[in-house]
Amino acid sequence: MIHKSLNIILLILLGLELSAQKNTVISLEEAHTIAEKNNRLIKILEYKVKQAEGKLAEMKSNFYPRLSASGTIAYNSDPNIYVYKGEFNHIYRDLVDIEWIDELLEKYIPLPPKDMTLIHGDHYLYKTSVNLIQPITQLTQVNSGKKVAETDVSIEALEKQKAINEIKLGITELYYGILLEQKMEAATLARLKYKRSEYRDALNASEEGELLKVDAMGLKAEINETEHQLIKHQNQQQNYLLKLKQLLGVEYPVEPVMNLDSLYLTEPEPMNEFITAVSGENFSIQQAGLMVRKAEFGVDAARKEYIPGLALFGQYNYNHGIPLTPRSYFLTGLNLEWEIFASGERAAVIRQREALLGEATEDFSYQKESMRNEAEQLYLQTQNAKRLSTAAQDAYDARQEEHRLMKDAFEAGQKLKTDLLKSEADLAESEAELLASRVNYLILLSKMQYLKGN
């Protein structure tokens, strides 16, 4: 009974393991959705956006009054205030301007006549204050800082969207690549089937003396080479699947599914419209433009450092146990802080910010020029890919007709089985070439959309 129970448990565990290893079939649209939710890089960039938004909220808070409170409690071992004998004798000199009289008074009637405690204090004392400060001239600097923070939010959001689009483009390329490798694997299997049949025919012919054995061994080498090619396609599929899992941010194996009949070759917009769209919506160009704005705000903030800091304040104080101090009182007024001379520090900061602005402006121009050149090259590549796809379609149509005629000839007894297998292999390879040309064209179209920021 124990042995039978253990076998049942092992079978259940084996079934669970096989179930866990089963690939999850997902479409390209589902893959995009999963990646946007699970990809680690996207999550990191989401936190960067939140961090920039938090900094913007912090900067906005500087527009409003600041309310603060402070307090002190302490123990004073000797809280009294003392006056010592003769400490006020100088009063005589102020009242009587005769030296010998002053000397007599100080000698016989000192003020005070002995050491005494003037005020008795408490051993425990505490002090509290409440402060309210409203910046005035500093608001111009705060406003510049707010604009910088807003620009940082836009930059981080753009960086996140750029990463999302890059990941989606990568997933699309992997999808097409996996499907293409599957098609190439099928074509290689067809070629391998034909080569094995040709090798068997050659062995039979060499045994009958119609063919040298060295020729048959050459065909054996071609079989091995085809098997090698088959393994390469299978390994490439596995590599693509692993990369796809990484981009999706999942641990379970996935299997892409796509309707190959839906791979229609649409025409892109005219080149001028495409380049105009890239110039206005490209991620790199938008980022460079935002960096120019940020640098401009930085220069503006540096120049405002020359403005004196003026703030309105109100302060309420309450004291206990501190001699000669009011129990409670209120202060209000204006506070001015002005750094008149800073040894050229502020001018140096302005020069640094202006240099950053010049750098950002040049980078903006460089990005526009670079993206324009990349757009032109990509457009030409797309046009060439379309022509290659048309040529591949013509070749595939010809191979289909050849295979039809070969099949008819085989059924009529005019051709060998090997000839039919060769025709099938040629047709499978032509179909793979056609798919490769279509995939290349569609990937280039996707890159065009990415370059436009879509």
pLDDT tops 90 at residue 396: yes
Structure tokens at 297: 């705000």
Average pLDDT of the residues in 250-266: 80
Q: What pLDDT does residue 12 have?
A: 45
Q: What pLDDT does residue 32 have?
A: 93
pLDDT tops 70 at residue 7: no
Domain ranges of the chain: 25-79+121-451
In this predicted model, which residue has the larger pLDDT, 3 or 80? Answer: 80
- Where b means 16+ CB within 10 Å and e means fewer, 23-44 reads eeebebeebbebbeeebeebee
Average pLDDT of the residues in 196-213: 79
What is the spatial distance between Cα 200 and Cα 376, in angstroms, rounded to a whole number? 53
Residues 6+ apart with CB under 8 A from 316: 129, 130, 328, 329, 330, 331
Tell me what percent of the residues of the chain surpass a pLDDT of 70. Answer: 93
What is the spatial distance between Cα 5 and Cα 2, in angstroms, rounded to a whole number? 5
Q: What is the CA radius of gyration of the chain?
A: 44
SS3 content of the chain, % helix, strand, coil (to 5): 70, 15, 20
Q: Are 198 and 422 in contact (CB under 8 A)?
A: yes
DSSP class of residue 88?
T
- 337 phi and psi, to 5 degrees? -130, 125
Structure tokens at 444: 């280039």
DSSP class of residue 268?
P
Average pLDDT of the residues in 359-372: 94
pLDDT tops 60 at residue 104: yes
| 98 confidence band (pLDDT: 50, 70, 90) | confident
Q: What pLDDT does residue 39 have?
A: 93
Q: What pLDDT does residue 291 have?
A: 95
Mean pLDDT estimate for the chain: 87
CATH number of 25-79+121-451: 1.20.1600.10
